Structure 1
Amino acid sequence: MPPPSPPPPPPSLPPDLHRVLSLLPRLASPRHLLQAHAYLLPRGGHRHARVASALLLASLRLPLRDHAAALVRRVHPSVSLRAAARLRGRGGGGLAAQLHSLLVRAGHAADPHASASLVQAYCSCGSVASARRVFDETAASADVVSWNVMIDGYVKSGDLARARELFDVMPGRNVVSWTMVIGAYAQMKQPEEAIEVFRRMQVEGIEPDGVALLSVLSACGDLGVVDLGEWVHRFVLRRGLCQEIPLMNAIIDMYVKCGSVKKALEVFEGMEQKSIVTWTTMIAGFALHGLGSEAVELFRRMEKENVSPNDITFLAVLSVCSHVGLTDLGRWYFKTMVSQYKIKPRVEHYGCMIDLLGRAGCLMEARGLVQDMPFKANAAIWGALLAAARTHGDTELGEQALLHLIELEPHNSGNYILLSNIYAEQERWDAVRELRISMRDRGLRNVPGASSIDVDGMVHEFTSRDGSHPSLHKIREVLCAINSNIKSVGHIALLPESLHDVEEG
């Protein structure tokens, strides 16, 4: 017996059917569901896919399995697929299994669209293993959509290894396939892999879409790979995508993170239309590079052009004030944010203010701000206080901050090292020794810092105390020359000559 023909496109849902549709997910008894179905039948409710799929889900949920089976047999498969697409959350796993069983009995499960919808339903409910079983059963006939849905399921569950494994064996990929994997790597802070897949996409002649470009620009910024970022910029210009504001914002952000502030500013000034994100990105870029006067001037220009700053903009400008020592201006902006723009400060704004006050040596004011905050201080705030205590030699504040940080970040060795430096600078060697013992007892080790830079298309990574780089001798020569030049112009270091970091061991 052939399946029912697809329902014709119905007119917009009448108000009475719309009311019933809103009630179906909240029905609490099988009797109420049967009454609702009886009400819908003479009014043509079964001809509306939204209503029919809602009836099917309600039948599975209550449960009325025979009623659900009858619905699956009598309606077009698209209704079942719509129902599968609406399954969300961990509680939907059982409903997905029931719907799967009904589709198998009705002979629809082999349909690639049905299997794709079931895979999506299982993934949305967190049942990725069940989704993979459905996928494997129909993989021979699966189209690219089915493959993409399964890869997306792995991505959303955080299993990038299996997502990549499936991606690599796909019989055919479209731009969505590539974009999903590139975006997943960028979002999970694996920029090397994101760029590697993007370059492979280029080799295979697949033209990237806007989402892929946004992801690879983010990866370029994270790694400092400016040559690929410039290629993306030229591609955007060639394709006439300069009016795509999010894309242009991402280009500005990429240039800023790669150290090309001048190019970032050129892109900013060349944009005919700017969003608040555009202004904020450029202000934050100036802040990142310590260009305090430029950032403040741009903020004032933004206000003159009647662009209202948002909470993220104030984070950027407060960060500027903190890093370049504009203490009074930072206080003023913090008050203006509330009084003029009616923006309620978040914990991040308080963190910027505490960092600003701590750097300026206003430790009592910073401590008072922590006590007056309308919410509990997080690790960033206590970390800012600990860093300020280290800079200004306030042992009591440092110990207080560390006690809170141990509770919030028990495995962060950097907090112990900051307090150890305070003790060492005061020659309290017994306290240093006790701190080392405490670190050892907690199984903590000093994780060496690392940085990376792109040179001629190759990313070079440097790790603290690592002498394995092949050009280490030349690098040391350049550093010595820079150090000599600094001393020759009378630079005086603000920090002690030797740091007393706790060694591993």
Structure 2
Amino acid sequence: MLRSSFFPNAFTFPFLLKSCAVLSLPLTASMLHAHVIRTGSQPDPYTRSSLINAYCKCSLPGHARKVFDEMPNPTICYNAMISGYSFNSNPLDAVRLFCQMRREEEEDGLDVSVHVNAVTLLSLVSGCSVATHLTVGVCLHGCVIGFGFGADLAVANSLVTMYVRCGEVELARHVFDEMSVKDLITWNAMISGYAQNGHARSVLEVYSEMKLSGVRADAVTLLGVLSACANLGAQGIGREVEREMERCGFGCNPFLRNALVNMYARCGNLTRAREVFDCLVEKSVVSWTAIIGGYGIHGRGEVAVELFDEMVESGVRPDETVFVTSMKVRPDGAVWGALLGACKIHKNVELAELAFKHVVELEPMNIGYYVLLSNIYTDVNNLEGVLKVRVMMRERKLRKDPGCSYVEYKGKMNLFYSGDMIHHQSKEIYRMLDELESLVKEIHPPDEKYEGRNEELLIGAGVHSEKLAIAFALLNTRSGTKITVMKNLRVCVDCHLFIKLVSKIVNRQFIVRDATRFHHFRDGVCSCNDYW
């Protein structure tokens, strides 16, 4: 254009600068800025606003602010500069500029709401993306209500997203519930927020509400739901999501296919996980991580190593997760934790103390190891040792999470806590447990210690949740059905032994995922070989 002796007009530079912003070309943006200055003409507000936007999108908010400060009348570019600060995660600078904007309006005797619009507030709220920004975000929420934009869909969506990113899902849900109109962005923000903050059951609840509302899911929705299914072990719901993927045309989406591999592996179905993996057209490092990690948590280390070698041969470079998962000796707390568990079985206190010393150096906040050592001391009547562990836990402000287990039945996740008596089938469940306890005592070798439910009641924990989940599943499923249970804590030695024996008595396969790994119980034997 320049070589043809045509001169740019007021429309040329904004379009060029917009391209620089989209492509993130800071040098080109600076050259265009220099050309604007060399022409000697005063750039129009639209060009200045485009300059501010381009510099901010190129991660140069300082350059953008200089352009802003040099403007004779910057009022019309406030939104662009505020948006730029938010884009660069500078919410405090954005708020300061917002306050300056309001002061100037008040000094000019204008109505302070004239220039504050939905775009202004949307930009401000969007800049609060981490927990340290929460205080600013709450103040901005007040501004949204004060200026009357609480019902604006885009602004409300940004508030939900802001609270989710700051880890305040309850506040996000409060905003969500007050919204009279919800679009796909609203639902996705809430589903993704619950998924990212570990509220898997809430993800499935919101997803059910979304389907009833008539809003169709997209890939982002299904990704969050698959993540929740993986955490809960909700394989049945995960299968429904896979069918939904095919119906909606997302069957070839690589992110969803990788999520499917992870979901099936974490739900205990390695066969299906491998089938999905083998059908992938292109296998990324995420794909390999999902399948290698799946074999790892199922105790299939030899297959994990084979897959790792296959991945390297295919030219995919492993990341830290794949490398650690496929190592023959893992440099983390898993090895020392397994040794500590073995010490519980063999009552080797000296070796247990050594294993505990190493494992808490690697995972000082993992309360399961403290409880395990305390149980080892209890078994040998070492009350001084038990007291020492309790003092250590108190000093480190550690509290044991209540044990809970999930089991899926007819597309719904049934939750049980230790000592749970609120389930509508509680009487039948406890009656089933009594029968199983009697059968276990009949066949159990007398030389091994097994206290069963009596010990659980003596220590005040009540019947452990995995036993309740298994009894419920036995009551409600047909003979021969495989039963999968997900538990949030490490399975204790007594429950592990109980499940082994019950698998032989009722001729069922139990798959239990605890905090450390998967346990496959069949014919009185566990895949972990009693080391976990």
Q: Give the match for residue 268 of structure 2.
A: 259
Q: C-alpha displacement at 1:250, in angstroms?
A: 0.6
Q: Is the 8 A contact 1:120 1:131 kept in 2?
A: no
1:28 corresponding residue in structure 2: none
Q: Deviations over 1:330-353 (max 9, x none)?
A: 15xxxxxxxxxxxxxxxxx5116x
In terms of fraction of residues, the more helix-rich structure is 1
RMSD: 4.5
1:129 positional shift = 2.5
In the TM superposition, what are the counterparts of 1:192-271 in structure 2 within 5 Å?
192-271=201-280
Q: TM-score, with normalisation over the residues of structure 2? A: 0.65
**How many matched pairs?**
426
Give the distance between the partners of 2:338 and 2:438, measured in 1 at CA: 33
Identity within the alignment, %: 28
> Aligned to 1:94, which of 82, 96, 113?
96
Q: Which residue of 2 aligns with 1:377?
A: none
2:78–2:101 contact (8 Å) kept in structure 1: no
Give the aligned residue type for 1:255: Y
- Give the aligned residue type for 1:42: G
Instruction: Tell whether 2:462 aligns with 1:457.
Output: no
Displacement after TM superposition at 1:232 (Å): 1.2
Match in the other structure for 1:42:
40
The match for 2:433 is 476
Displacement of 1:217 in angstroms is 0.6
What pairs up with 1:348-359 in 2 under 5 angstroms? 349-351=330-332, 355-356=334-335, 358=336
Aligned to 2:497: none
**What's the CA shift string for 1:63-85, capped at 9, x where partnerless?**
x99x5784423x45653454453
Q: State the shift of 1:143 in Å.
A: 3.3
CA change 1:40–1:169 in 2 (3 A) is farther
Task: Kindly provide the amino acid, as one letter, of the partner of residue 163 in structure 2.
Answer: Y
Counterpart mapping for 1:57-136 below 5 A: 70-73=72-75, 75=76, 79-80=80-81, 82-86=83-87, 88-89=89-90, 91-92=92-93, 93-102=95-104, 108-121=114-127, 126=134, 127-136=136-145
Distance in 2 between the 1:86 and 1:154 partners?
Answer: 17
Normalization by structure 1: what TM-score?
0.68
**Secondary structure of the corresponding residue to residue 454 of structure 1:** strand
- Following TM superposition, by how much is the alpha carbon of 1:267 offset from its aligned partner in structure 2, in angstroms? 1.6
Distance in structure 2 (CA, Å) of the matches to 1:293 and 1:153 = 44
Q: Which residue of 2 aligns with 1:503?
A: 459
Mapped to 1, the partners of 2:341 and 2:241 lie a distance apart of 39
Residues 286 and 442 from structure 1, CA distance in 2 versus in 1: closer, same or farther, beyond 3 angstroms? closer
- Tell me, yes or no, if structure 1 residue 145 matches structure 2 residue 154: yes
**Cα distance in 1, alignment partners of residues 340 and 309 from structure 2:** 33
SS in 1 for 2:16: coil
Flag structure 2 segments of 5+ consecutive residues without an equivalent: 1-9, 462-532
State the alpha-carbon separation in 2 of the partners of residues 173 and 45 from structure 1.
41
Distance in 1 (alpha carbons) for counterparts of 2:433 and 2:355:
36
2:16 partner letter: P
Tell me if structure 2 keeps the 8 A contact 1:261–1:285.
yes
Task: Give the corresponding residue for 1:289.
Answer: 298
How far residue 219 of structure 1 moved from its aligned partner, in angstroms, is 0.8
* 1:425-467 Cα deviation digits (max 9, x unpaired): 4454554466567768998765542211111123222333445
| 1:169 and 2:153 aligned | no
Contact 2:332 2:362 (C-alpha < 8 Å) held by counterparts: no
Q: Name the amino acid aligned to 1:49.
A: S
**After the TM superposition, which residues 292-441 of structure 1 pair with which residues of structure 2 at under 5 Å, given as runs?**
292-318=301-327, 330-331=328-329, 349-351=330-332, 355-356=334-335, 358=336, 386-387=340-341, 390=344, 393-396=347-350, 398-399=352-353, 414-432=368-386
Distance 1:477 1:7, change over 3 A: farther
- Asked if 2 retains the 8 angstrom alpha-carbon contact of 1:450 and 1:462, the reply is yes
Equivalent position of 2:198 in the other structure = 189
CA distance in 2, matches of 1:408, 1:148: 40
Aligned-residue offset at 1:230: 1.3
Q: Is the 8 A contact 2:200 2:231 kept in 1?
A: yes
Work out whether residues 118 and 149 of structure 2, in 8 Å CA contact, stay in contact via their aligned partners in 1.
Answer: no
How many angstroms does 1:244 deviate by?
1.4
| CA-CA distance at 1:50 after TM superposition | 4.7
Give the whole-Å Cα distance in 1 for the aligned partners of 2:248 and 2:355.
53
> What corresponds to 2:521 in structure 1?
none
